[in-house]
Amino acid sequence: MSDALSELKALEDHGAFAARHIGPSEAEVAEMLEALGLESLEALAERTVPAAIRGQEFSALPAPVNEAEAIAELRALAELNNRVHSLIGMGYHGTHVPPVILRNVLENPGWYTAYTPYQAEIAQGRLEALVNFQTMVTDLTGLPVANASLLDEATAAAEAMALALAATKAKSNTLLVAEDVHPQTLAVIRTRAEPLGLTVSVVAPAKVAAACAAQKPFALVLQYPGTTGAVRDIAPEIAAVQAGGGLAIVAADPLSLVLLTPPGEMGADVVIGSSQRFGVPMGYGGPHAAFMAVKDTYKRLMPGRLVGVSVDAAGRPAMRLALQTREQHIRREKATSNICTAQVLLAVMAGMYAVWHGPEGLKRIARRVALQARLLAAAARAAGFTLRHDAFFDTVAIEAGDKAEALMHAALAAGFNLRRLDASGVGIALDETVSRADLDTLVAVLAEVGRAKLALASLAPAGGLPAALERKSAFLTAGVFNSHHAEHSMLRYLKVLEDKDVALNRSMIPLGSCTMKLNATAEMIPVTFPGFGEIHPFAPVDQAAGYLALIRRLEGWLAAITGFAAVSLQPNAGSQGEYAGLLAIRAFHQARGQGQRDICLIPSSAHGTNPASAVMAGMRVVVVGCDRDGNVDLPDLEAKIAQHAGKLSALMITYPSTHGVFEEEIIRICEAVHEAGGQVYMDGANMNAQVGLTAPGRIGADVCHLNLHKTFCIPHGGGGPGVGPIGVASHLAPHLPNHPLLKEAGPATGYGPVSAAPFGSASILPISYAYIRMMGGAALKRATQVAILNANYIAKRLEGHFPVLYKGARGMVAHECILDCRGFQQGGGVLVEDIAKRLQDYGFHAPTMSWPVAGTLMVEPTESEPKAELDRFCDAMIAIRGEIRAVEQGRMDKADNPLKNAPHTAAEVTAEDWTHPYSRADAAFPLPFVAAHKYWPPVKRVDNVYGDRNLVCTCAPLEDYAQAAE
Ligand SMILES: *Cc1c(COP(=O)(O)O)cnc(C)c1O
């Protein structure tokens, strides 16, 4: 190479992204290593990761590219997708994302980098947005309580099934499903019903009422309107299932409910659906926010998160997550749902779509698509076809006889995907993006295939909504849905909410186990490329070539990183990956004639989703204890393996452990399980401590899920979206999930789908793709080393102030550390919660509180935090320790101190009256850096108990309060 070319090579910035993603500079890494008395990052890895598992080759990963190159590569992939206008329906519709929402929510790190709103005081913005979503869902469905989102419509239907089973105390084990529910919904219901021993009975719509009387199912699932578009009066069917003691579950299209009598008014017990068409791109299947609304009687059985209005310490309204005792992290193996990460960002978008359009705007959109459908129905008739249903909302089902194929072809040639219903049927689902020109084209297509002369102008609308089912009740009457129709008003409303919250664009969020690392802008930009957004999940697969190429490459990279043979990207959260992986294990045992193996061993330190998933997969949970060092108690494990030998199905283990330690005995643990005929399921939430240093496949696991929204840079979105792919060893590869509507989605021998869409939340996969592509193998390994370095640096700096609860064999923590705060209660009465709330005054989001050990904080800094930010956090913690000491030593009052009164609001600190024995400055500006970019918590500490006693989950009380204040 010439000198000039060598110089040029040195100046090129391939791989330069790594230095942006990894927070500490070379010099800072050296400084931190020195503080730990270590020579190098390699030496750190040697001190931390047990020798027996160290070493992982990355030969399959390509050399890194820079940001511009990665964006260009993803643009090219997006352009490989063919953006044919899909009028397929089946729960996925074209929609215009209002630009003000696109830019200020979906493309805004203030919204997408936020964490799940467990620390309510610094999450009031997104909590309010979720209350809007819940209000929208209750209004549209006609039921009083709605949750803050579920993963997709099909899993929401399966969740409703589990709710109904619990509500009816399992008096029957038959679930009745009307034949006209979306096929993917039925398929997911079947997957979820099988391990629970439930019978799924499918009946034609006309026979539903009679079947209810004959079979007395525990629940009935209906689609409203039906999957081919038919609208019928479902009230008699609802009454019929209830007469037999079962629950009526209705899967509904939210836009149709603008014009149709809501199922809640017809007596339905549970209404579920997808809010995708409220301004969220189809994205080849997701992510989108599914919804669930229930009768008041069932609110304590409802899966997922529910935002409720409560009051703060000053008596003003404030929101927080309600009824947490329902959830898997509390109920564990008694939970009926494992859902954890949901779809917050998408629920925020859908709720904002309703805010933006308001009731009148939504009516206009709904009436327009309904009229388009009626005109198209008239055209179909005039072209000589018949309609399968005269009563419909936006979807026309055409009986095309032997011209069905010709109709599909002609439509495609004109730029549209229609839905092939069966041999002779074709469905056309209209949506808000269908223009007058599109309608003209569709009419011309019908004319051409039917050999008729047609013109839109001369058609009289045919069919449509039956008058008896027209909606009479008002909806979206709350002020928020009737105020922000001017863009300036909307822009400012979004900004006001955003500014109430702490997200990663403000300060580090050191959440143990949740890996709140950088979500780089270059990774996010491709997500909103139209070539990714506008693809229907059931479009012909040759139109999704870009997606398929991206998916296959990403699967290969993740297989290399985990050391496994095959990967499925279908599960749309970690919890769903757990479930999918356990089903693979179950299917493996069954295929070998070992179906009796149903015991799942789970260490007591496990995340709550683990036992919940095991029960959903038809397993019995046996808890294994932990020893004093936080490791799996080996004698207890061995005893339980021996006790259940012939019945052992699996061990679920998190590695490094949820205590933040690389257990030395992990290989022995895996071997013991294998010797007894069991399989090892690894919870890969802590993969950020493994990548490039070791791998689940190498350690001896058979299956592992990854949380792409933790280790692989998909932002948390305030509590979703996520992606929870599973990697499996070769013997489990035939038992991965698949999908009835796309053979490319998984092996033919698979057990069926766990998500509605073949590749789950496909449209956010470009984020993880971009991350791996820009890092390359060497930098991924360095990221892991620096994540471990950052955690050990924090542990070291805080050592003299807070005891670090668990350490590994050579005195190091893995990528996170647990700070023991239990000792402070005795001396000064300071609780871990007081520390968490006080951190808000310093501008920080608290670490994970009281999990996996009550009374502790689990800190995970990730590799992305620069040293200065780590130091600010440590300074804050040390200053707080000083405040605790002042209380302990009696220099500060036990009840009236900055810890107990935290957080402090601007209103409080600037009020005339200040009665506390510490200064206003100490309250609000306890350290110099705090003043430099002060974050003001918008409310004082939120009262959880009050909110649960007076459960309110909609906008009304907030508005009453705001009015009273005016
Ligand atoms: C986050 C997490 C889960 C659950 O993953 P979701 O994506 O939230 O469903 C499971 N186990 C552990 C250890 C986790 O940290």
* 208 has a pLDDT exceeding 80: yes
Quote the ligand 1 centre to 63 CA distance (angstroms): 30
- Residue whose CA is at the smallest distance from ligand 1 atom 7: 574
> Which is the closest atom of ligand 1 to the Cα of 606?
13
Average pLDDT over residues 900-912: 97
* 297 has a pLDDT exceeding 90: yes
Which token pair is 285?
A: 């299947």
Q: Which residues of 243-266 are buried (b: 16+ CB within 10 A; e: fewer)?
A: ebebbbbbbbbbbbbbbbbbbbeb
> Which is the closest atom of ligand 1 to the Cα of 338?
9
Name residues contacting ligand 1 (CB within 6 A).
340-341, 513-514, 573-575, 607, 609, 654, 658, 683, 685, 707, 722, 724
Measured distance CA(352)–CA(620) in Å, rounded: 42
> Which is the closest atom of ligand 1 to the Cα of 654?
13
pLDDT of residue 966: 62
Quote the ligand 1 centre to 13 CA distance (angstroms): 35
**Amino acid making up residue 929:** F
Mutate to test the pocket of ligand 1, among 343, 513, 712 (most ligand atoms within 8 A of CB): 513
pLDDT of residue 170: 81
**Amino acid making up residue 905:** T
What are the CA-CA distances from residue 351 to residues 86, 159, 356 (Å)?
A: 24, 22, 9
The CATH fold assigned to 782-935 is: Aspartate Aminotransferase, domain 1 (3.90.1150)
Average pLDDT over residues 919-941: 96
Quote the ligand 1 centre to 404 CA distance (angstroms): 46
Average pLDDT over residues 811-827: 95
The dotted CATH code for 135-303+325-341 is 3.40.640.10
- Residue whose CA is at the smallest distance from ligand 1 atom 4: 574
Quote the ligand 1 centre to 952 CA distance (angstroms): 28
Which token pair is 510?
A: 């050191």
pLDDT of residue 132: 98
- Residue whose CA is at the smallest distance from ligand 1 atom 5: 574
* 960 has a pLDDT exceeding 80: no
782-935 shares the fold of 541-773: no
- Alpha-carbon torsion angle 938, 306, 186, 466, nearest 10: -90
What integer best gives the mean pLDDT of the chain? 96
Per-residue pLDDT reduced to its tens digit, 636-693: 999 999 999 899 999 999 999 999 999 999 999 999 999 999 999 999 999 999 999 9
Measured distance CA(383)–CA(503) in Å, rounded: 56
Per-domain residue ranges of the chain: 135-303+325-341, 541-773, 782-935
Per-residue pLDDT reduced to its tens digit, 752-763: 999 999 999 999
pLDDT of residue 158: 98
pLDDT of residue 933: 87
pLDDT of residue 62: 93
3-class secondary-structure state, position 749: coil
3-class secondary-structure state, position 428: strand
pLDDT of residue 965: 65
- Residue whose CA is at the smallest distance from ligand 1 atom 3: 574
pTM of the model: 0.98
Q: Which residues of 697-721 are buried (b: 16+ CB within 10 A; e: fewer)?
A: bbbbbbbbbbbbbbbbbbbbbbbbb
pLDDT of residue 325: 83
Average pLDDT over residues 739-764: 98
The matching CATH number, chosen from 3.30.750.210, 3.40.640.10, 3.20.20.10, 3.30.450.20, for 541-773 is 3.40.640.10
Least confident of 229-233, 313-317, 325-329: 325-329
pLDDT band at 318 (very low <50, low <70, confident <90, very high): very high
Local structure of residue 596 (DSSP, 8 states): T
> Which is the closest atom of ligand 1 to the Cα of 575?
9
- Residue whose CA is at the smallest distance from ligand 1 atom 6: 574
Quote the ligand 1 centre to 574 CA distance (angstroms): 5
Q: What percentage of the chain reaches a pLDDT higher than 70?
A: 100
Mutate to test the pocket of ligand 1, among 569, 704, 707 (most ligand atoms within 8 A of CB): 707
Per-residue pLDDT reduced to its tens digit, 842-888: 999 999 999 999 999 999 999 999 999 999 999 999 999 999 999 99
* 602 has a pLDDT exceeding 80: yes
The number of angstroms, rounded, from the C-alpha of 825 to the middle of its chain's C-alpha atoms is 36
pLDDT of residue 378: 98
Query: Is residue 241 within 8 Å of 174, Cβ to Cβ?
Result: no
